């Protein structure tokens, strides 16, 4: 799939959901430079970021508020050995895209087999890469993990940037597996919960989730990835 085709697909999704902005891209540049230009297109800033990890169904952040670990993961929180530290000594707070964040995204992508572009797009939509963000529903960090979700994923400290990113990547991997590699359903599940996606056979008819999927799709397309 070419970059042009990915952008066209993202624009198609945005048009269907009534999103006015068209996805644009820049030339053949490195990942970090493309992302930096993409952020300028979407005018992200701390005062303008809306985290999407808020209640869309009773009980909190979709099904994430009552997260049930995937088969083979110990209920009540598994050891974080599979999350680990990956050799990162990170500060308690990280704000914005940086070489350090890029390295953590890359490591989590490789560790859990999630495309870096997808992981980056979700983190950008959730928090604009800000590790100190906490949503009104209690979701924490760059990947906006709910406490129960973090525990089930083996994250012992959701405020630690590496653990948070790795936990989000692990959860995305589980969602991709559940929906047979369908990234659109995985992204919708990240926002509304996998049971809602299963119930409706796709993106649930929630305005927030539809907007969220379009936003992530646009961010991913800027980096050459098609949902």
CATH code (residue 119)? 1.10.530.10
In a domain, 29, yes or no: yes
DSSP the chain: --HHHHHHHHHHHHHHTT--PPP---SS--HHHHHHHHHHHHT--TTT-----S-SBTTBSGGGGG--PPTTSPTT---GGGT--TT----S--BS--HHHHHHHHHHHHHHT--HHHHHHHHHHHHSSBTT-B-TT--BTTTTB-HHHHHHHT-S-TTSHHHHHHHHHHHHHHHHHHTTT-HHHHHHHHHH-HHHHHHHTSS-S-HHHHHHHHHHHHHHHHTT---
Q: Does residue 217 lie within any of the structural domains?
A: yes
pLDDT digits (tens, 9 = 90+) for 158-190: 999 999 999 999 999 999 999 999 999 999 999
Residue 196, in any domain of the structure:
yes
Whole-number average pLDDT of the chain: 77
Is the pLDDT at 77 greater than 60? The verdict is no
- Model confidence band, residue 59 (pLDDT cutoffs 50, 70, 90): very low
Whether residue 191 lies inside any domain: the answer is yes
How many domains does the chain contain in total?
Answer: 1
Residue numbers of the domain that contains 108: 3-222
Q: Does a structural domain hold residue 227? A: no
State the pTM of this model. 0.71
What count of residues does the chain have? 227
User: Among the options 126, 132, 208, 222, which is catalytic?
Assistant: 126
132 is catalytic: no
End-to-end CA distance of the chain: 11
Which among 13-17, 132-136, 142-146 has the top mean pLDDT?
A: 142-146
């Amino acid at each position: 799939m070419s970059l042009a085709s990915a952008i066209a697909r993202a624009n198609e999704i945005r048009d269907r959901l009534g999103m006015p902005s068209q996805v644009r891209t820049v030339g053949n540049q490195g990942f970090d430079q493309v992302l930096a230009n993409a952020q300028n297109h979407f005018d992200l800033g701390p005062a303008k970021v809306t985290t999407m990890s808020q209640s869309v169904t009773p009980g909190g952040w979709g099904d994430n508020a009552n997260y049930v670990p995937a088969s083979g993961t110990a209920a009540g929180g598994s050891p974080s050995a599979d999350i680990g530290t990956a050799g990162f000594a990170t500060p308690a707070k990280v704000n914005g895209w940086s070489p350090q964040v890029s390295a953590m995204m890359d490591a989590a992508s490789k560790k859990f087999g999630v495309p870096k572009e997808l992981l980056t797009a979700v983190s950008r939509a959730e928090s604009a890469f800000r590790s100190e963000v906490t949503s009104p529903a209690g979701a924490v960090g760059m990947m906006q993990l709910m406490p129960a979700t973090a525990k089930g994923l083996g994250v012992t400290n959701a405020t630690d940037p590496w653990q948070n990113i790795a936990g989000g990547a692990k959860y995305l991997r589980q969602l991709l597996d559940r929906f047979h590699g369908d990234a659109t359903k995985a992204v919708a599940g990240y926002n509304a919960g996998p049971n809602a996606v299963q119930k409706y056979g796709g993106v649930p008819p929630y305005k927030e989730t539809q907007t969220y999927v379009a936003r992530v799709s646009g961010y991913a397309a800027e980096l050459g990835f098609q949902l």
